[in-house]
Structure 1
């Protein structure tokens, strides 16, 4: 039976790849990669670099396909994501069926970790539920941007006995949860910060783990404008940006 590996590769540093992931890569016949356009060519290049560096025990092929278009400004976010996942599932299924032999092993290399704000596992589940294609699949965890952010700022993720919430920019548009001591925010396409308490402490990072990593921290009211300026310049320079930030309430 076909085998599919979903491998977390960390946040931009090839050395984030674990020994478990390296061993898994050396069982792979085909690596499936989505092309997200010229602006994000760096993400494809890193996946190629990881394969070239770590796969030593067998020949393998890299198969690329164009990522389906996604509506970035939908009137209904849930429907837009559902449609996008459906298109990706059809694409993944066709790639696996066409490019991977019935006893072959294929891999999807996932930025960060497959469990955290990534669609790959949900898409694999869709393919399994359709029942057209038989395969087993396995997940190999990776370093997340949350871990990389805390490490770069040399902070513990949580305060003693206090909770941590991991959420998205869309979810904090109305403010932070009342009981959140520490909030990690991901997938914030345009952080404004204006609706948040200026006395929060922010730990911000972009391109975490890579040679282009940038970090900044301080009282939110003091550094918010600087983060927005640096972020806009970096996005214009690279054509894309991946950033994450942690917000911590003042000690009462």
Structure 2
């Protein structure tokens, strides 16, 4: 039977690879590597560098997976994502049939942790439930950007007796969650933090754990423009950016 290992590779630093993840790497015959174009070449290189560093005993090969672009013009966000995932699902299913032998093991190296803001698990499970390809899969957790961000800023995510709310910039643009204390924001391409009214403190980081890492923290009115400028410059320089932030009202 075909096997699939969905491996969390951490937030960008190869040192974030867990022992369990390294053991999993050494069981893989075929690594499926997302192909998102030249601007994301650095993300592909990180995956291949991790394999070169940690795989010691297992012969393996790489197969590139074309990743379709999500439509930029749409009326319904969830429908747009569903259509995009359906295209990815078709590509994954084809590769599992054509590039993975009956008794081989495939590896998907997922940025951060596969269970946090990633759709690989959903897509693989949909393929499995169609019963067109027989396989089993296992999930290997990784160090997420959420964990790495807090560690690099040396702050706990929660405050005593309070909750942690993880959301997106798209949701934050609708207003700060009324019942939330600490809010972790991911995928904020529009920098929704700039539109918040009131007093907030922010802990922001991009490329956390890598040589490109940049961290900014402070009172939101004092650092919002600095974060926006750094974000724009780094995205232009590298062609991509992965950033996240913790934001909350000052403790009374």
If the length of structure 1 is used for normalisation, what is the TM-score?
Answer: 0.98
**Partner of 1:161 in structure 2?**
161
The offset of 1:65, in angstroms, is: 2.2
How far apart are 1:26 and its partner, in Å?
0.6
1:117 aligns with 2:117: yes
Quick check: 1:89–1:127 contact (8 Å CA) kept in 2? Answer: yes
3-state DSSP of counterpart to 2:139: strand
Q: Distance between the aligned counterparts of 2:164 and 2:192, measured in 1?
A: 22
8 Å contact from structure 2 (residues 65, 92) kept in 1: no
- Residue in structure 2 matched with residue 67 of structure 1 by the alignment: 67
Residues 1:43 and 2:49 aligned together: no
Matched with 1:7 is 7
In structure 1, runs of 5+ residues without a counterpart are none
1:71 shift after superposition: 1.2
| Cα distance in structure 1, aligned partners of 2:192 and 2:137 | 40
Provide the rounded CA distance (Å) in 1 between the counterparts of 2:68 and 2:88: 6
Secondary structure of 2:31 counterpart: strand
**What is the rounded CA distance, in whole Å, between the counterparts of 2:124 and 2:72 in structure 1?**
23
2:47 partner SS: helix
Q: How does 1:122-133 map to 2 (within 5 A)?
A: 122-133=122-133
* Distance in structure 1 (CA, Å) of the matches to 2:95 and 2:221: 48
Counting only pairs closer than 5 Å after superposition, residues 15-164 of structure 1 correspond to structure 2 as 15-164=15-164
CA spacing shift, 1:6–1:196, aligned 2, 3 Å: same
C-alpha contact (below 8 Å) 1:198/1:219 kept by paired residues: no
Q: How many residues align?
A: 252
Residues of 1 paired with 2:111 and 2:72: CA distance?
Answer: 20
Structure 1 stretches of 4+ with a deviation exceeding 4 A read none
Contact 1:198 1:220 (C-alpha < 8 Å) held by counterparts:
no
State the Cα distance separating 1:192 from its structure 2 match.
4.0
Residues 222-248 of structure 1: CA distance to partner in whole angstroms, max 9, x if unpaired?
Answer: 110110001000000001101001101
In the other structure, the counterpart of 2:205 is 205
Write the distance in 1 (CA, Å) between the matches of 2:138 and 2:192.
Answer: 39
SS of equivalent to 1:41: helix
Q: Does the 8 Å CA contact 2:26/2:56 hold for their aligned counterparts? A: yes
Structure 1 contact 192–228 (Cα < 8 Å) conserved: no
1:174 deviates by 1.5
Instruction: Give yes or no for contact 2:169–2:192 (8 Å, CA) kept in 1.
Output: no
SS at match of 2:148: helix
CA distance in 1, matches of 2:39, 2:72: 16
Q: Provide the C-alpha distance between the structure 2 equivalents of 1:65 and 1:8, rounded to a whole number of angstroms.
A: 18
Root mean square deviation of aligned Cα: 1.0
User: Partners of 2:198 and 2:219 in 1: how far apart?
Assistant: 7
**Does the CA contact (< 8 Å) of 2:172 and 2:192 recur in 1?**
no
* Deviation, structure 1 residue 69: 1.8
